[in-house]
Amino acid sequence: MTDSTQPPLTAEELAAEGGTALPDKEVISLLDLNADLDLGLDAAAPIDLAVAANANVAAPIEAAVGANVLSVGSDATALASQGAHIDQGITGEAVAHGEQGSTIDQTDAAPAPADGTDTTVPTDGSTTDGTAPTDGTLPTDGTVPTSTDAAGPLDGPLLNVDVNLATDLKLAAPITGAVAANANVAAPIDASVAGNIGSVDSHAASLAQQDVAITQHVDADANATTDQSSDISQ
């Protein structure tokens, strides 16, 4: 028998059927996702850095380039001649002094009352949060506190995910550094390039001549001193 040939239900059959009314659409929850993240981060990183330097840098550069590209019967000549006299001298001091003093207190314990009493619980047995008394007495107005109604089959979400993450991180990294340097750098560069590319009956000549006199001397002290004193309480 197909759906098109099934007879409709009679009034008596409809009356015999039972059902439960669905709640309003806005109160139906298929997915309840509750993620609580409690992250307490105490970070302290005092940094002290001292840098001192004496430096002499010399870099004379001379370059010559000659080329023939697809040129018949041509000449390419490149000549680079360099004469450099470099005298570098350092007379002095490079002193770096880094001094650091840090006091870090990352304790979070609540201080106790000065008189030694505990103020979290009233002394008369009453409660301040609206809950029923713990001594078994009932309210004086005759009412009886009622609990929340029992949950029905359609109350609450179909999937309930509750994630609680509590993380306390305390980080202390006092850093101190001192750098001192004396340096002499000389880099004379002489280059000459000549080339023939696809050139018939051509000549390419390249000459690089370099005459450099370099005198370097350092008459100085490089001192690096660092002092660190840290008092960390976590």
What tens digit of pLDDT does each residue of 85-119 get? 989 888 878 888 888 888 888 776 555 555 555 55
Strand pairing of 31-44 and 75-105? Answer: unpaired
pLDDT band at 68 (very low <50, low <70, confident <90, very high): confident
Contact 221, 92 (CB under 8 A): no
Where is average pLDDT lowest: 36-50, 86-100, 214-228? Answer: 36-50
3-state secondary structure of 11: helix
- Go through 167-200 and write b for each residue having 16 or more CB atoms within 10 A of its CB, e for each that does not: eeebebebebebebebebebebebebebebeebe
Q: Are 30 and 75 spatial neighbours (Cβ–Cβ below 8 Å)?
A: no
Report yes or no on whether pTM surpasses 0.75.
no
Rounding to the nearest 10 degrees, give the CA dihedral for residues 131, 134, 137, 141: -10
Instruction: Decide: helix, strand or coil at residue 218.
Output: strand
